[in-house]
């Protein structure tokens, strides 16, 4: 019976398999008992879509086990740089995995963050492109908080943030939808720093937001329209398969098809594209986080379905061009 259920899972062939893709956001890690390293990712990449390059984003893995605390995140950049080199040396791997690397540095160090940024760049001079600092916070207690409240408005954090421009680095922003006005304030204060909003700004669907999808959508949509006024902000389209979104995809034995997924995601992605334009939006897989909810093939099929009516140039930007420009690959 189990084999029968497995065979009933949503299995699809990749649509438009020649369309070039840059997967703008994925992780590599070992989190016992789970592991998702280069060989695992290559297995997903081999599923048929034309993923020519990827952006490897920090996830707190591979930190140094000794030395100054603020320098320990350099270990993750060392790891991702080694992955990139390993991938280039293997003729069987056609995708440029980790064509760009986004690491972590504690921007709340203020001016003391400068040596950390220099360290990242020294370890990966041709691929290191920016910092992600997770500032998720919600007062309900129902969600994971990764930073104190209002971190993006903190003066010491902003002193550290100012060093990103000096090193020509971008900022990947990860926060929940009620926090988006704080991101607008940050973008206005630092117009010369490119800010990449992760996971469409995380419209929430759990805890106090459960059962309020329409209400949350309206609030989120208003915030996104306000953010679009800042030309230094771009948006990653994806990351909706996490539990925080309030969908049941990760619990299903038979996963959602790309058609079903496209129907659910379309209103959100169209808000982003309509407000920011295709030149300021980029698609991401967010694997392996998304893997619990959706397969690699189905996820990209859904993105292709959503954008079917867009022009050739718009689709080229969404699937590859924006990511290549923003991360300079």
pTM: 0.96
The domain that holds 285 is classified in CATH as: 3.20.20.140
Tell me the two tokens of residue 209. Answer: 């937001």
Is 101 within a domain?
A: yes
CA–CA separation, 178 and 136 (whole Å): 10
Backbone angles phi, psi at 79, to 5 degrees: -60, -50
Is 100 within a domain?
A: yes
Is 214 within a domain?
A: yes
pLDDT digits (tens, 9 = 90+) for 230-244: 999 999 999 999 999
- ∠ CA 305-196-261, nearest 5°, is 25
Is 14 within a domain?
A: no
Is 190 within a domain?
A: yes
Share of the chain above pLDDT 70, in %: 97
Is 98 within a domain?
A: yes
Is 11 within a domain?
A: no
Q: What is the structure's pLDDT at 253? A: 87
Q: What is the structure's pLDDT at 303? A: 98
Dihedral over alpha carbons 285, 291, 294, 295 (to 10 degrees): 80
Whole-number CA gyration radius for the chain: 19
Strands (E), the chain: 20-26, 29-31, 34-36, 50-57, 96-103, 128-134, 170-174, 195-197, 233-237, 281-283
Domain total of the chain: 1
For residue 62, what are the domain limits? 19-326
Q: Is there a contact between 205 and 248 (Cβ–Cβ < 8 Å)?
A: no
The number of beta carbons lying within 10 Å of the beta carbon of residue 322 is: 26
Q: What is the structure's pLDDT at 110? A: 98
Q: What is the structure's pLDDT at 315? A: 98
Q: What is the structure's pLDDT at 10? A: 67
Regions of the chain short of the pLDDT cut 70: 1-10
Is 23 within a domain?
A: yes
């Amino acid at each position: 019976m189990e084999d029968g259920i497995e065979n009933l899972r949503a299995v699809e062939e990749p649509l438009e398999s020649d369309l070039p893709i840059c997967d703008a956001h994925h992780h590599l890690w070992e989190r016992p008992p789970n592991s998702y390293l280069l060989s695992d990712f290559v297995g997903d990449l081999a599923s048929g879509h034309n993923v020519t390059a990827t952006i490897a984003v920090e996830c707190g893995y591979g930190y140094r086990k000794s030395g100054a605390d603020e320098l320990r995140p350099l270990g993750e950049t060392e790891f991702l740089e080694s992955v990139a080199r390993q991938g280039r040396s293997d003729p069987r791997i056609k995708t440029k995995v980790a064509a760009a690397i986004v690491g972590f540095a504690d921007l709340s160090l203020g001016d003391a963050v400068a040596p950390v940024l220099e360290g990242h760049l020294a370890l990966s001079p041709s691929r290191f492109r920016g910092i992600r600092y997770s500032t998720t916070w919600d007062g309900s207690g129902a969600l994971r908080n990764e930073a104190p409240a209002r971190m993006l408005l903190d003066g010491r954090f902003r002193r550290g943030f100012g060093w990103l421009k000096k090193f020509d680095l971008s900022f990947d922003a990860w926060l929940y939808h009620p926090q988006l006005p704080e991101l607008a304030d940050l973008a206005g204060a630092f117009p010369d720093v490119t800010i990449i909003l992760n996971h469409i700004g995380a419209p929430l669907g759990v805890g106090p937001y459960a059962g309020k999808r329409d209400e949350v959508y309206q609030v989120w949509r208003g915030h996104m329209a306000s953010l679009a006024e800042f030309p230094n902000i771009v948006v990653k389209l994806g990351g909706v398969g996490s539990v925080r979104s309030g969908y049941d995809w990760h619990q299903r034995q038979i996963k959602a098809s790309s058609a079903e997924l496209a129907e659910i995601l379309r209103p959100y992605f169209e808000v982003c594209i309509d407000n920011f334009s295709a030149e300021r939006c980029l698609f991401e897989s967010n694997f392996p986080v998304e893997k619990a909810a959706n397969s690699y093939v189905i996820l990209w099929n859904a993105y292709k379905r959503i954008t079917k009516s867009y022009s050739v140039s718009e689709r080229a930007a969404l699937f590859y061009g924006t990511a290549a420009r923003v991360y300079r690959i």
